[in-house]
Structure formats: C-alpha cells, structure tokens
C-alpha cells in the first residue's frame, strides 16, 4: 500500500477509535471509509465489525466478523457474533455459535461473554430457569477485578428477577454493584428499584428559584455596599467642612494677633515719644 494511502487509512482508524465511546455511528462511518480504501486488511475489517456492532448495525457487523475470522483466524469475536444473532431475533443460531469448536481456544473474558449471551438466548426462548442454571458457575463468587465479573453477576441477578425471585435478585444486584466501580451495568439502580427507592434530580423550576434567590441576595449585597459607600462619602465631606472651618478660625486668630501686635508697636512708639518729651 502506498505511504500516502496508508496514512489516510490510519487517520480514519484513529478517528474511529476516538469516537467509539461517544459517537459509535460516526466511528462506524470512519471505519467504513477505511474499508473502502483498504478492504483486504484484517484490522480494518475488524474495526468495521466492532463499530457496526456498537452502532447496532447487526447484519453488517455479523458479515464483517465472519470476514475477520476467515482473514485473521481471530476467534475472539465469537461472543459478539452470537450477540448479533440474538439481536437479529435468532436465538438458536446464537446458541449454536456458543458451541463452536473454537470456543475452548478463546480467552476467559470471551468465554464469560459467551456464557452471558447463551443465557440471554435461553431467556429469549422463554427458558429462564435454564438461563439461571447456566449462570450458576464458580466465577460468580470469584475474587477478581476482571471487567467481566459485574456483567456476569448482573446477568444472573436479571435472570433471577425475571423468574420472580426478587430477594435473590436484590442480593446479586448489590453484589454486582459492589464490583462495578464505573457503574457500567446499572446494578445499583436496579437494586434501588427493587427496594422501592427512586433517584430524582432537581426540577428546572427549583433551579430557577435558586437562581432568583441568589440574584436577589447579590442585589441586596450590592445595594448595601452602595449605601455604605454613600455614607462614607458623606462622612468624608463633613470632615472636610469641619477642617475648613478650623482653618478659617486659625486665619482669623492670626489676623487678630497681627492687629494687636501692630497696636502694641504704635502704643510703644507713642510712649517712647512722650518719655523723651518729659526728659527735655
């Protein structure tokens, strides 16, 4: 593949991965563009298969997963293939895939996913008791941080709830929530629902009231600050007036002192003259 074409395909695959969680449909479109440019690459076909699966284009996803198995020999996609069959309303084909000859060669997470899908297919067929029995495996109580554990416990709890075993279902929803730190399964919400609890958000009206309250509070604070500033200005003006009056008084006192001094000097001169006249 030419370098320019390879770079373009890589860009679409990177974009597909970037949008995978937030916008599966857009991720799928990028993957399809990459497939149009490089349909013979197994990695490209796998990207198309996964994004189509997440975007709920199950027919195309199933076709692409088959192509991936044929081109790469990767059997880890069996669980997603079986789930596609379920989504397309074909539980029997889903169960057939869970018995594929390569099932024992896949990783533990894929085997658990296959078990969950198989139990779901049984429930699709109305065989809830069989689904519960299938999920009663040692892995349910296994101490592990594996991502599949919350999903396995949730599937078991959900099957129990469908069978009317509410108390048992509540126990396992709580156990699923206990290992689901990211809240992916929604087990905590299901447990609360069974317990008759409800999670409510604040209404928009309450938010508006709060906003109005804070706006009034801010306005009151602003008004108080303005009144305080005006009072301060008035006090300062009064002080300036008082200071001005003091200055006037000081000037008047100085003028009076000067006049008295001049009068004293005149009296002194007259007295001196009279004294000299007497001596003569």
Q: How far is 69 from 80, CA to CA, in rounded Å?
A: 12
Residue 216 lies in a domain: yes
157 part of a folded domain: yes
Q: Which of 182, 200, 218 is the last residue before a domain boundary?
A: 200
Please tell me whether residues 219 and 242 are part of one structural domain: yes
Q: Do 183 and 217 belong together in one domain?
A: no
Query: What are the φ and ψ backbone dihedral angles of 213, each rounded to 5 degrees?
Result: -60, -50
Q: Which has the closest alpha carbon to 132: 148, 120, 149?
A: 120
Token digits for 119? 């139990």
**Residue 171 contacts residue 177 (beta carbons within 8 Å):** no
* 184, 150 Cβ separation under 8 angstroms: yes
188, 208: one domain: no
What's the CA gap between 186 and 275, in Å, rounded? 123
- Most confident region among 112-126, 195-209, 228-242 by mean pLDDT: 112-126
End-of-domain residue from the set 200, 219, 243:
200
Domain membership of residue 179 (yes or no) is: yes
Question: What was the pLDDT predicted at 207?
Answer: 45
Measured in whole angstroms, the distance separating CA 259 from the mean position of its chain's CA atoms is 87
Is 43 part of any domain? Answer: no
Domain count, the chain: 2
220 lies in which domain range? Answer: 204-274
Tell me 185's DSSP state: S
Q: Are 119 and 82 in contact (CB under 8 A)?
A: no
Residues 196 and 244 in one domain: no
Residue 110, domain member (yes or no): no
Nearest alpha-carbon partner for 114 in 125, 93, 98: 98
pLDDT-based confidence at 200, cuts 50/70/90? Answer: low
Q: Are residues 211 and 261 in the same domain?
A: yes
Q: What is the pLDDT of residues 89-147, one digit of tens each?
A: 999 999 999 999 999 899 999 999 999 999 999 999 999 999 999 999 999 999 999 99
Length of the chain: 280
Is the residue at 171 inside a domain?
yes
Which of 170, 200, 230 is the last residue in one of the domains? 200
Handedness of CA 211, 212, 213, 219 (dihedral sign): positive
Task: Name the nearest CA neighbour of 60 among 88, 37, 79, 93.
Answer: 88
Pinpoint the alpha helices (H) of 125-203: 128-135, 148-162, 166-178, 187-194
Q: How large is the average pLDDT for residues 266-274?
A: 43
pLDDT in tens, 170-182: 999 999 999 998 8
Q: With respect to residue 27, please indicate whether it lies within any of the assigned structural domains.
A: no
Find the radius of gyration of the CA atoms of the chain.
Answer: 45
């Amino acid at each position: 593949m030419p370098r320019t074409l390879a770079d373009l395909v890589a860009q679409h695959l990177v974009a597909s991965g970037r949008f995978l969680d937030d916008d599966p449909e857009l991720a799928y479109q990028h993957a399809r563009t990459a497939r149009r440019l490089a349909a013979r690459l197994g990695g490209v076909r796998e990207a198309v298969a996964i994004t189509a699966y997440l975007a709920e284009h199950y027919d195309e996803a199933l076709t692409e997963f088959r192509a991936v198995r044929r081109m790469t020999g990767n059997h880890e996609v069996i669980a997603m293939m079986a789930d596609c069959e379920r989504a397309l309303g074909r539980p029997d084909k889903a169960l057939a895939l869970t018995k594929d000859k390569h099932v024992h060669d896949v990783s533990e997470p894929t085997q658990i996913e296959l078990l969950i899908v198989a139990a779901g297919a049984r429930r699709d067929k109305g065989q809830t008791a069989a689904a519960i029995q299938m999920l009663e495996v040692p892995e349910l109580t296994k101490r592990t941080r594996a991502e599949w554990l919350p999903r396995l416990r949730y599937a078991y709890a959900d099957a129990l709830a469908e069978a009317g075993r509410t108390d048992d279902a509540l126990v396992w929803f709580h156990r699923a929530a206990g290992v689901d730190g990211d809240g992916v399964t929604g087990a905590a919400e299901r447990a609360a629902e069974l317990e008759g609890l409800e999670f409510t958000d604040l209404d928009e009206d309450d938010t508006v009231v709060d906003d109005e309250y804070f706006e009034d509070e801010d306005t009151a604070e602003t008004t108080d600050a303005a009144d305080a500033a005006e009072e301060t200005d008035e006090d300062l003006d009064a002080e300036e007036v008082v200071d001005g009056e003091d200055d006037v008084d000081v000037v008047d006192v100085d003028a009076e002192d000067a006049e008295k001094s001049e009068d004293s000097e005149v009296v002194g001169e007259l007295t001196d003259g009279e004294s000299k006249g007497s001596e003569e």
